[in-house]
Structure 1
């Protein structure tokens, strides 16, 4: 078992549902904390868990240490992927899932969410998780380690609801890369709720409304 990361938690201690939400490169667990009241889930007994990524040297940023779920070795982020780092974060997220289950959350009432790098880990882990999840929320991101996906994906999450959203002018994770991931998953039999917005590498107001509606459907 990997060491659990420090987390920011928002919501009731005795929750009925949980969202594990992973931030992007260089941010921390506080990054999406202000979004919670905007989602309108106050009456649904949802606990938000925002873990802090470990501090790692990031190659594309000159080796500068920062919070990262894995290293980015090339400006073309899908090339020379940091498999070890991705799998270490997968184990960390699996441990957080296990802790939520021990706190009484049914796996079908647990959603994995993430932005950018965090979204990549949410997709990677959720589609490989051995128990059915409530959903995967993948924002401004892509599916990493595609070469091993077919042999590693879990039948339990073949029908998991997946929400993918992306900026049409994203200069960090290009739209074509996210769209390639979407098409790959659809060809593998997954149903993807796909959204694009007139934005860059960020979260927009219209996107927040769409996320809110999608989450309410998951927890109704």
Structure 2
């Protein structure tokens, strides 16, 4: 069965695109929510990075009284061990695979593609990146957790065992407890992944200082 491509916001570089960042938004947001960060990153003038900000499909979300909103998967409860609807996570993973393949078909190799995401989008980016069968340039997981809670996902692929993973989290996060991000980081480190952890004095959000650090990481990951 074919998968309908996700609608998205695409921000093209001034020069020919030679790499790509696919950035997934959080619950109830849209690709429009993060697209304005591109100029704020202050990347080198001719960076050649295409940014894609897809819109999650609209669906009912259990913890929000069943209201329909953009969501990468249903959130069933606040309990980390029973939070993510895995059927929805797997469906989103397939949709992200389509996005990645579109970039590969356009001439950008997998190892020049970064999967990034905030909150729920970070969950999907991390899950998808760990299982993806081709080497990616990097995985950026912001204020998120592993949908499999206290274990790594099944069928993690060796292709991304050496891929740089940057995890950021807010010390005052009252939406996704920092402990869940720390747990994911420990699991990754213990399994031999190249995961870097950075906490910031912030709630469930993104800071200018953090974006500066992310910019430096993207330059090091995609432009060197």
What TM-score, normalized by structure 1, do the two folds share?
Answer: 0.96
Q: Please say if 1:61 is aligned against 2:64.
A: yes
Q: Please say if 1:194 is aligned against 2:200.
A: no
Shift, 1:29, TM fit? 0.5
Q: Please say if 1:122 is aligned against 2:125.
A: yes
What are structure 2's unaligned runs of at least 5 residues? none
Partner of 1:152, secondary structure, is: coil
| Contact 2:25 2:121 (8 Å CA) reproduced | yes
Aligned position for 2:172:
169
Residue pairs, 1:34-113, within 5 angstroms: 34-41=36-43, 42-113=45-116
For 1:40-79, what per-residue CA distance to the aligned partner results, in whole angstroms no more than 9, with x for missing partners? 2242111000000000100000000000000001022441
CA distance in 2, matches of 1:144, 1:166: 16
Once structures 1 and 2 are overlaid, which stretch shifts more, 6-15 or 177-186?
6-15
| Contact 2:23 2:52 (8 Å CA) reproduced | yes
CA distance in 2, matches of 1:76, 1:32: 27
Partner of 1:43, secondary structure, is: coil
Out of 11, 22, 33, which is 2:24 matched to? 22
Partner of 2:33, secondary structure, is: coil
CA distance in 2, matches of 1:114, 1:214: 15
CA distance in 2, matches of 1:162, 1:115: 14
CA distance in 2, matches of 1:72, 1:17: 32
CA distance in 1, matches of 2:29, 2:46: 29
Shift, 1:80, TM fit? 4.8
Supply the RMSD in Å over aligned alpha carbons.
1.5
CA distance in 2, matches of 1:155, 1:200: 34
Partner of 1:138, secondary structure, is: strand
What TM-score, normalized by structure 2, do the two folds share?
Answer: 0.94
